[in-house]
Every structure is written in C-alpha cells, then in structure tokens.
Structure 1
Amino acid sequence: MSIKVLHTSDVEQQRTAIAGWEQHYAQMSAGRFQGRITHAELGGVVAYEERMNTRVEQFFQAPANALVFSFDMSGNTLYLLDSQSRNTWITPENYREVAVVIDLERLGMRCASEALEGLSLTPLKSPQAQLFGSWLSNLLGRLITSTDALQPANLAAQLVEDCLFVLECSLPNENRRQQQRLTLSRQIVNRVCELSNAYPEDNFTTLQLAQAAGVSIRQLQQAFIQYNGLAPSAWLRMRRLNAAHRDLQQASPAHTTVAEIAMRRSFWHLGRFAESYRKLFNEQPNYTLQRRP
C-alpha cells in the first residue's frame, strides 16, 4: 500500500496530480487557487480524494481498462466512468470528490461500456452513496497517519464490494425528460470543448462555437447555462484568461511583457485585462510573470 498527499496552488499542478487521466483544467471563479489530493494505491484498486476551493472547468477522459466510481460530495451523487467516458463540466466552489478506480481484470471484465449502458456519467443518488462517500473520505484521512492496522488486499476487496453494492442501491435522480435534456446539453458542451482543446491557440467566437456544435446560438447559450452555469461568452473569456495565466507562468520577463501576452490572447485593453486577471487569480499579471519558476 502507498499513500500520498499533495497540496497545490495552481490548477496545472492539480491536473497532473493523478496519473492515468487525460485532463484539462481551467480556473472559473475568483480567488487564489488551493487544492489537495489524497491518493492511495492498493494493488488493482486506487482510492483518492480531490479538493479545490475555486470553480474549475474539468475536461477529462477516464483511465483505460478501469471502472471509476466517483462520488461528488457537494451533491452526494455517484457517477460511473470507464475509458470511453469523456466529459467537460465546471465544479462548484469548495468542491470535494472521492473516487475508487478499479482495474477491469479484478472485476472479470474486458470492457465496461456495455454493462454501463444508460449509466455512464448519469447522476445516481441513494443514501448508501452519501454514506459510502463520507466513509471513504474518513478512511483516506486515517490512512495518512497510519496504515498498520489495515491489510491492503482486504481493503481493496472491501472497496470493490462496497462500490458494487452502492451501485445496486442507486437510481438516476432525474426523470427521463430532464435527463435527456441534461444529456443533450452535455453533448453540446463537450463538442465545443473538444474543438477548443484541439485548437488551444485559436480565439473562437460564440458564432463559431455554435456552428461547430451544429446548433443555434440560443441552443448553445441554453446548453452552457444549464450544464455549466455560464454563458458561452463568459466561458470564452475565462478560457482566455487561463491561457494568459499559463503563458505568464512559462514566459521569461526578459523576453516578453504582460501587454504582449494579453494581446496574444485577444485582450486589447491592458487595464481591463489586468483588472479581470487580478479578480480571477488574486494577483496582478506582472507578478505572475516575475515569479516564473
């Protein structure tokens, strides 16, 4: 058994803290980012807890050859993911998730997609999901200080058994029509995010995003507000601010300026850019540039 705890001060540190996931993170609410990952390896089973204080956009693809039981502690909701699960969403502030990642061989499966038909990425609620999520969070807290009293093999088997039991007890928490609308919104948002991630240097307009998703601007707005709680224009601005943040972290003060980076990301009014940047990241852009690692 191995366990580690990582405290992070940037979404990029948070993004890379858990191996095996294809992920893109962007900060979506104001404040200095603080995160924490507690990660336990149990041999064929991984358990972890993720905490983040600001809203964060997560684009992710789950690990290959694994089934993931993800417990959103803010909504007391279970989500199932497999290697085919690709999703983009924006977490609430002070987000907390605990998860169990189970190797498919341990479950006697080669592919989980057929078994998860209609369940992957569907919000599942039950009292058992809430109780198990809280128990797993407390367990990881205890493991940080002592692992002597726990046998990794027994603990891994218990986690597998408990996760499957919680799944049996859980049902979708939305009626069919609501779930269909949410699924459609997620598909629209995911198409847009995949385009943005494929061309990170391009500054898209709302019209271009709507065309790429094959919907009207109104449908795009409705999908983003329903699924992310942000209008597409606000989402685009947040993405450009995060891109400028990464540029400033990687640039050399001797070879570039804040103005050059701001204009690269289509911020033409330097004063407004600096103010928006300060509100989101709780520091001036020139400070980020000067404290380059």
Structure 2
Amino acid sequence: MESLYFSPAVPPDVVLSRFEVCRTRDLDEARHWGERIFCANRLRSLDAKGSVNTRIYYRRLGGIGIGRMSYGGDISIDPGQLETFSLIQMPIRGQERIDFGEQRVLSDPTVASILNAHVPFVINHSNSTEKLIIRLDNNVLERHCQQHLGRSLRKDIEFQAAMPLDTPQGRRWMRMVGWLYDSLSADEGELPPILASQFEHTLVSMLLACQPNNYSAELMADEGPSIAPSFVKRVERYIEEHAHEPISIVDMAEYAGVSSRSLFTGFRRFRNTSPMLYLKEVRLRNVHEELQRQSPGGSTVTAVAFRWGFSHLGHFTTDYKRRFGESPSETLAR
C-alpha cells in the first residue's frame, strides 16, 4: 500500500534525490549514518540473513531536517529516547510498529507517527517500508510554541504519538509536507536565511495546529484580553511599569484592590499563568531587549540579570535559553 496523502509534484522516488547521504548493504554503516543524523541507536536485523539495502536522503535546514529513507530489510531500531529533538515519520509504503512501553502505534501510509523527545521507544521497520522523516530540534519547537502563546513553557511539548492522515487535519498536514518536499527537492542551492526561517515557521505552526498536544487547548482557545477583568489588566500594566523593582504578590493585590486569591484566580482563568510567572516573563523580555541593545564591553550578562531581579544566575540562564533559544551571552555577543 502506497500513500494516498503524500502527493508531491515530483515522483516519490525523485524526492530529495539530489541529497543522498547513504546507500549501503552494510548494517554497521547504516547504523553509523543513523547516529550521524539522529542519535546513538541499537540497529538490529530481524532477518536470519541479516541483509539490508539502506538508502537515506537528507537535507538540513536550520533547526529542521527533512529526509526520505528505507532500510531494505526487517530492522529493529532502539535509540532509547531522543534528547534534543522530536521525529515525525510518514511511511509512503510499507509499515512500522513503534512501541512506547505499553503503548503501540502501527504506522503506515494512512497513519504517521511522532516520536517525542524524552520518551523511550523501539521501532520495528518492515522490509518493504520507505518513509519520509522530519527532524525538529527541541529549541525550534519550543521557541515557536512560546511565540504563539506569548509566554514561557512550563512543560516539554508532547504530541499524540499517532497522526491519522485521513482526517481534515492530517490531509492539511500532508499537503504542506508535499509542498515542502517539492520546494527543497528542486532547490539544491543554499537557501537565504529569511526563506529557511519561513519554511521552519510554516512547518512548526502547521504541526502545532494539526496534531493534538499538551498545549492544544491553549493554542486553539480564543484570546482572553478582551474579557479579562479590569483588575487583571491593571496588574499587567503595573508589572510592565515596575518590573525593574522588587514586586511581591501582596504589592500587586493591594494595587489592584483585590485579594491575592482573586488575583491568582483571575490570572489562571484569563491568562493561563500566575502573576509571578507573568512578572518573570516580562523581566526575561526586558533582559533580552537590553542585551540586544548593549554595545561590546558595555555591560555583562550578570549585571543586566541582576538589574531585572534575577539573583540565581543558573536558573535565569536555563529560563532564558528555553524562552529565546540561545544563552544570554550569545545574545550579548551578537
């Protein structure tokens, strides 16, 4: 069975044909290329003869990588868990079985699979299978999700593992995938950064919209500012104007003329955050903007962080990198 949903302008066998990185009948070499593109893994042939005919086509584009691959044999792939990226797999023929502990996904041309970072899994790849793959770096996925939400993430993004492709959302996703593969198959030159960024943005935005995840409800919800109580808006303005000063929840509640409990409830219901997390978000944004404005030797990361109320530099650096996709020192060095 071949995919009815992947319909590129170029024939499937020509997709990314200019970007072949591996063609081998040696299992160890196939494992080596899997480690170069993805991560360390235990690759094992399930065929008594141990035969493979591996072909991998792959192109890197900023924080994403797109590819087409087949192992040409019955293979078990056990990488443990992905640490720094998520992986989307879309068979265009054949099938795979992916085991996540007690959960199992049978992936074929009608059902794609998403391998989330930090979730252990094992793939059983059948001999006749050929698949499209999209590798998404964690920092890219998090950065775009944060931009849509307008705040930092408190948990890793986790997608539903099975992606049915015969639904309106699945067909929408595959139309975008077909366009992306067509564009990147035909253009073998170095893409301008602005175009690479546009591909990246389109891909991640479509994934967040089409595939259920632990932020879907918030991403799909109507924005709340127009219906939020006036005291929530007053406290937001207060935070914006006084973020450089020591501010407590008591200060905010007194300014708004409500109880601390009402303030927490208002922010949780209408902003899906807490007043103190909102304050941290404003301070992070101000640090980011100030570091961007600094001239070489004008200041230090430590001085700017302290000025905006961050006394624990380890926690600050972690939060900053998660929010902006780079360390504060990298921002200062630009």
How would you bin the TM-score normalised by the shorter chain? Answer: 0.3 to 0.5
Bigger radius of gyration, 1 or 2?
2
Which TM-score applies when normalising by structure 2? Answer: 0.41
